């Protein structure tokens, strides 16, 4: 289906036209029903079937008026992607006709076949039943394409026995956990007006675009999302001429349609630009409630792919599709807000707001330090292993950037010094003496930091571009909720609140400020300094995931009723298995391309060189460069053959290893290096073989032709 042209129709008329938003519900629902829905969204009431029946009827009529014939419960299984099972609205009548029905029960709950979704041992294969439950906090929307229109209802996904089989259920529970503990702190500070605390997220999505004709000739891109072979061209990104450069007309046309499609479903796409690497781009929305933002980001990724194909392009969301140039991340801009409009990370200008800001900022610092391994695990994927620490993304060391002024204020509190950033003024006494006023841009941005304070939010930069942001935000919410609960315990028992606030901030920051680092995270010196400070540096996914089964992690999640021990163990096994499967596919593709594409092409080219050399010899001429070239190709071909054989051997070893962690270790320690060894020989051959003789498009075609 062709997109609406917003150059001819005002954006205000397009925006949200395919979204069953609160504004639309307010317009179409009876007032009492709309108030009930708002109360359910705020967590003050449970959804009743009577309310659902009214909403379902209105939602159905709206969807039918837009041409929808089917509806689906749209959910986030542990594959990291989205899933949907379509049902039509039709219901047969006794006279052989049909009517269009959609009940409250169908809106609230669906029953997909759960047998083929990963469960990590939570249920046997024959236990097929699973349930999807409507997530009232995220708006329904219409998905339109050339096949028609479908009503998509965001849902949670659970097993027959109520275990979480998705990424949405833990996110919702973690949001509730943070709400409970944050409200305790706010009440202790004298805030009686805020009724609910929630997190907001604004994910900056990076991606590559390549011409589809080249993509279709690269089976590694089609099967793994990244290139397992590819020699760097003479020019890469070193001229820094692509970043924020003029957007090419073809890409601009794609972006225009992408914006339109996102605006139609109520996603506030705001910013777009060229990124650092050639043919790399970024899109960022306005902040939203984290549960809605998670759904929106999944839809953004789907829409990027589908719109790209309509423009003869292919979008790559892998964290490192091209070796040697920057990969793609997804900066997770995270903040905590209240239902009455307070951003809890907004520095204030009076003692009361100072105390609130400093308490919540200190809680984040402590959470990041105490649960650094958990936060690292939240971004652990095979794709992200290629990116983290590669001079384009933060290293695997989790640290916090505060910037000079804010760090000085916290240091002064910890050390009992002056509170003013210029060294003057009174000693800070929280709740009595106001802090120096802080501007919104309290510090310069540190693009090397994995977790940076950027004025009124924290930017978590370690998240991979292909990831669902549900898991990073879930883990972050739980970690901060735990620290806030401990703060609240002290505040609720305090005889002198001001003195207790001051003590909490001083003691917490003093103990955990080792995680603060305002310098260049890319520098080797920081790696050594982080080790001296005792900060963990877990460089691979396999080791990072082990934290999920540790007793401290289990207690953390169970205490806040987010995930049980069994649910955590299931995720540990699912993520290990996913890692092993991904590397297994990549190794198989590497072997297949080497054996069936590169060897035949190189052999044919070598034979051509031999024929040319023989022809020259027949007339008494000798080509020394040609002979040297032929000899080097022969040597590299033999080395490629040997390395491919070695890769096959270690791949077989990995496939035969049964225990999940041991198997993933073999894939990491032996198979991945084996793939790199094969690649080094093949990439060297690519530099010697005629471009016309090479079996698939190279980096020059992939990165510079749009």
What's the rounded mean pLDDT across residues 62-75?
Answer: 94
Which of the residue ranges 233-237, 277-281, 645-649 would you say has the lowest mean pLDDT? 233-237
Which of the residue ranges 263-272, 444-453, 489-498, 659-668 would you say has the lowest mean pLDDT? 444-453
In DSSP terms, 20 is beta-bridged to: 140
What's the rounded mean pLDDT across residues 444-473?
Answer: 90
**What pLDDT digit, counting tens, does each position of 284-332 carry?**
999 899 999 999 999 999 999 999 999 999 999 999 999 999 999 999 9
- Whether 228 contacts 318, CB under 8 Å: no
617: exposed, middle or buried (Cβ count in 10 Å: 0-12, 13-18, 19+): exposed
pLDDT of residue 431 exceeding 70 = no
How many Å apart are CA 502 and CA 507, to the nearest integer? 9
Residue 424: predicted pLDDT: 41
Residue 358 vs residues 50, 141, 449, 508: alpha-carbon distances, Å:
45, 39, 21, 11
Structure token pair of residue 85? 């099972």
Residues sharing a CB contact under 8 Å with residue 79, sequence separation 6 or more, in sequence order: 117, 118, 578
Please name the fold of domain 176-563.
Creatine Kinase; Chain A, domain 2 (3.30.590)
Distance of CA 257 to the CA centre of its chain: 23
Residues sharing a CB contact under 8 Å with residue 420, sequence separation 6 or more, in sequence order: 436
**What pLDDT digit, counting tens, does each position of 15-33 carry?**
999 999 999 999 999 999 9
Residues sharing a CB contact under 8 Å with residue 444, sequence separation 6 or more, in sequence order: 403
Greater model confidence, 406 or 702: 702
Residue 356 has a CB neighbour count (10 Å cut-off) of: 22
How many Å apart are CA 675 and CA 592, to the nearest integer? 12
Which of the residue ranges 326-330, 364-368, 390-394 would you say has the lowest mean pLDDT? 390-394
**What pLDDT digit, counting tens, does each position of 168-223 carry?**
999 999 999 999 999 999 999 999 999 999 999 999 999 999 999 999 999 999 99
The class level of CATH for 11-166 reads alpha beta
Residue 422: predicted pLDDT: 44
pLDDT of residue 559 exceeding 90 = yes
Which of the residue ranges 97-106, 111-120, 593-602, 662-671 would you say has the lowest mean pLDDT? 111-120
The closest of 292, 342, 269 to 21, measured between CA atoms, is 292
Greater model confidence, 327 or 609: 327
**DSSP state letter for 156:** E
User: Do strands 148-159 and 68-74 pair parallel, antiparallel, or not at all (unpaired)?
Assistant: parallel
Helix (H/G/I), strand (E/B), else coil: 331: strand
Residue 334: predicted pLDDT: 97
Residue 191: predicted pLDDT: 93
Greater model confidence, 425 or 224: 224
Residue 5: predicted pLDDT: 58
The vertex-333 CA angle with 173 and 241, nearest 5°, equals 145
Residues sharing a CB contact under 8 Å with residue 325, sequence separation 6 or more, in sequence order: 232, 236, 237, 277, 278, 280, 703
Do the domains 11-166 and 576-704 sit in the same CATH topology, yes or no? Answer: no
Residues sharing a CB contact under 8 Å with residue 613, sequence separation 6 or more, in sequence order: 623, 626, 627, 630
pLDDT of residue 420 exceeding 50 = no
How many Å apart are CA 126 and CA 123, to the nearest integer? 8
**What pLDDT digit, counting tens, does each position of 567-595 carry?**
999 999 999 999 999 999 999 999 999 99
Residue 617: predicted pLDDT: 65
What's the rounded mean pLDDT across residues 139-162?
Answer: 91
Q: Where are the domains positioned within the chain?
A: 11-166, 176-563, 576-704
In DSSP terms, 19 is beta-bridged to: 141
Q: Is the pTM of this model over 0.75?
A: yes
How many Å apart are CA 455 and CA 284, to the nearest integer? 18
Burial 172-202, CB ≥16 within 10 A → b, else e: bbbbbbbbbbbbbbbebbeeeebebbbbbbb
The vertex-484 CA angle with 478 and 485, nearest 5°, equals 90
- pLDDT band of residue 623 (cuts 50, 70, 90) is low
The vertex-583 CA angle with 120 and 157, nearest 5°, equals 30
Residue 236: predicted pLDDT: 77
Structural element, H or E, at residue 488: helix 470-493
What's the rounded mean pLDDT across residues 550-560?
Answer: 98
How many Å apart are CA 15 and CA 263, to the nearest integer? 5
- Whether 205 contacts 284, CB under 8 Å: yes
Percent of the chain predicted with pLDDT > 90: 68
- pLDDT band of residue 455 (cuts 50, 70, 90) is confident
Structure token pair of residue 243? 């970043």
Which of the residue ranges 343-352, 367-376, 547-556, 634-643 would you say has the lowest mean pLDDT? 343-352
At which residue do the structure tokens 């198997």 appear?
663
Percent of the chain predicted with pLDDT > 70: 91
Mean pLDDT of the chain: 89
Please name the fold of domain 576-704.
1.20.120
Residue 235: predicted pLDDT: 81
């Amino acid at each position: 289906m062709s997109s609406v042209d917003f150059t001819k129709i005002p954006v205000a008329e397009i925006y949200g036209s395919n979204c069953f938003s609160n504004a639309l519900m307010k317009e179409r629902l009876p007032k009492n029903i709309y108030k009930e829905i708002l109360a359910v969204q705020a967590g003050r009431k449970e959804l009743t079937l009577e309310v659902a029946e009214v909403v379902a009827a209105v939602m159905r009529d709206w969807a039918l008026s837009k041409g929808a014939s089917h509806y689906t419960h749209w959910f986030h299984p542990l594959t990291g992607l989205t899933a949907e099972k379509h049902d039509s609205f039709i219901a047969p009548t006794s006279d052989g006709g049909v009517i269009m029905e959609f009940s409250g029960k169908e809106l609230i709950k669906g029953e997909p076949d759960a047998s083929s979704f990963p469960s990590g041992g939570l249920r046997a294969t024959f236990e097929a039943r699973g349930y999807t439950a409507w997530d009232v906090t995220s708006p329904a929307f219409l998905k339109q394409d050339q096949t028609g229109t479908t009503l998509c209802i965001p849902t949670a996904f659970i097993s027959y026995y109520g275990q979480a089989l998705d990424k949405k259920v833990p996110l919702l529970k973690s949001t509730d956990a943070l709400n409970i503990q944050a409200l305790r702190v706010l009440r202790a500070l004298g805030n009686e007006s805020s009724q609910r605390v929630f997190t907001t997220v604004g994910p900056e999505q990076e991606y590559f675009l390549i011409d589809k004709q080249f993509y279709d000739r690269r089976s590694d891109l089609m099967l793994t999302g990244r290139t397992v072979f590819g020699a760097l061209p003479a020019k890469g990104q070193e001229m820094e001429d692509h970043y924020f450069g003029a957007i090419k007309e073809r890409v601009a046309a794609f972006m225009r349609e992408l914006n339109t499609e996102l605006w139609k479903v109520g996603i506030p796409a705001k910013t777009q630009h060229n990124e650092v690497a050639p043919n790399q781009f970024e899109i960022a929305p306005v902040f939203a409630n984290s549960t809605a933002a998670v759904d929106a980001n999944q839809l953004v990724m789907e829409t990027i792919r589908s719109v790209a194909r309509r423009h003869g392009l292919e979008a790559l969301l892998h964290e490192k599709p091209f070796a040697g140039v920057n990969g793609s991340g997804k900066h997770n801009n995270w903040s905590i807000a209240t239902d009455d409009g307070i951003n809890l990370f907004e520095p204030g200008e009076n003692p009361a707001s100072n105390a609130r800001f400093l308490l919540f900022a200190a809680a984040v610092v402590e959470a990041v330090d105490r649960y650094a391994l958990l936060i690292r695990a939240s971004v652990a994927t095979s794709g992200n292993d290629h990116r983290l620490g590669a001079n384009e993304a933060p290293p695997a060391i989790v640290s916090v950037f505060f910037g000079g002024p804010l760090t000085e204020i916290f240091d002064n509190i910890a050390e009992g010094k002056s509170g003013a950033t210029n060294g003057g003024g009174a000693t800070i006494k929280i709740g009595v003496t106001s802090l120096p006023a802080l501007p919104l841009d309290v510090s310069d941005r540190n693009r090397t930091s994995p977790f940076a304070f950027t004025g009124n939010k924290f930017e978590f930069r370690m998240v991979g571009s292909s990831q669902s942001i549900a898991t990073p935000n879930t883990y972050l919410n739980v970690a901060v909720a735990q620290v806030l609960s401990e703060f609240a315990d002290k505040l609720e028992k305090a005889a002198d609140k001001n003195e207790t606030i001051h003590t909490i901030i001083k003691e917490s920051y003093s103990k955990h400020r080792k995680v603060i680092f305002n310098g260049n995270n890319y520098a080797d010196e920081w790696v050594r300094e982080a080790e001296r400070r005792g900060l963990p540096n877990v460089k691979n996914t396999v080791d990072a995931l082990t934290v999920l089964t540790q007793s401290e992690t289990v207690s953390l999640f169970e205490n806040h009723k987010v995930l049980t021990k069994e649910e955590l163990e299931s995720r540990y096994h699912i993520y290990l298995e996913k890692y092993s499967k991904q590397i297994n596919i990549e190794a198989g593709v590497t072997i297949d391309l080497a054996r069936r594409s590169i060897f035949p092409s190189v052999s044919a080219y070598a034979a051509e060189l031999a024929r040319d050399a023989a022809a020259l010899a027949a007339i008494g001429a000798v080509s020394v460069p040609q002979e040297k070239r032929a000899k080097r190709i022969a040597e590299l071909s033999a080395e490629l053959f040997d390395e491919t054989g070695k890769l096959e051997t270690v791949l077989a070893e990995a496939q035969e290893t049964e225990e999940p962690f041991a198997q993933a270790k073999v894939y990491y320690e032996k198979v991945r290096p084996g793939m790199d060894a094969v690649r080094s020989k093949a990439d060297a051959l690519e530099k010697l073989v005629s471009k016309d003789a090479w079996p698939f498009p190279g980096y020059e075609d992939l990165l510079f032709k749009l």
